[in-house]
Amino acid sequence: MNDMIEIQCPNCGGTVRRQTGEYFAVCPYCNSEVGFDELKEEAAVTGMRSRLEALDRRFKNEQEFKHKNAKRKKAMWIFLLIMTGMYMLGMIFAGIGEEDSALVGIGAVLIISGLFGILPCTIVYAGSYTVFNDVKGAEESNGAAKFREWLRLVGISLLLLALATIAAVIICFMLDPQK
């Protein structure tokens, strides 16, 4: 995979070597940074159109991947936080509703809904999780990465639930300190 492209340094004219897929190279003669645009021009004049296209495709793929990933992650976090919030509210209702069975009932429903929302959320997100393959220059589905991401999310969810429980207990205590 040591596919080198040789170009002229736009600053001193020296020969700069660059590996395919890299966006920057440093000139060994004058230390100036040769950026993507210069490389593009250089590649075009030296007739390396296929390499140029591959570079463009890879760049586009990577941008799309990053954009999609950020959107997916944001949606997952919003959902996870709503579910944790429901769980926490449920704990508070159940905690302060001692003799009020309606409040305890609502609390129980919220706790169960929150808990049951979190598990499918982690599964759906981990199932759609992809990685960017640097060699292929494209997005790729990877079973091991999906599983690792799922374990990570389960860990985060448990931590969120623990924090929500502590917060609910503190809030219950503040609302009803003689208990």
Nearest distance, CB of residue 45 and Zn ion, angstroms? 17
Q: Which of residues 19-78 bind Zn ion (CB under 5 A)?
A: 27, 29-30
Question: Contact between 14 and Zn ion (CB under 5 A)?
Answer: yes
Nearest distance, CB of residue 4 and Zn ion, angstroms? 17
- Residue from the set 3, 6, 12, 33 that interacts with Zn ion by CB under 5 A: 12
Q: Which is nearer to Zn ion, 33 or 56 (CB)?
A: 33
Give the type of residue at 178. Answer: Q
What are residue 16's DSSP bridge partners?
A: 7
Question: Contact between 11 and Zn ion (CB under 5 A)?
Answer: yes
The residue count for binding Zn ion (CB under 5 A) is 7
| 132 C-beta neighbours (distance < 10 Å), count | 16
- Binding residues (CB under 5 A) for Zn ion: these are 9, 11-12, 14, 27, 29-30
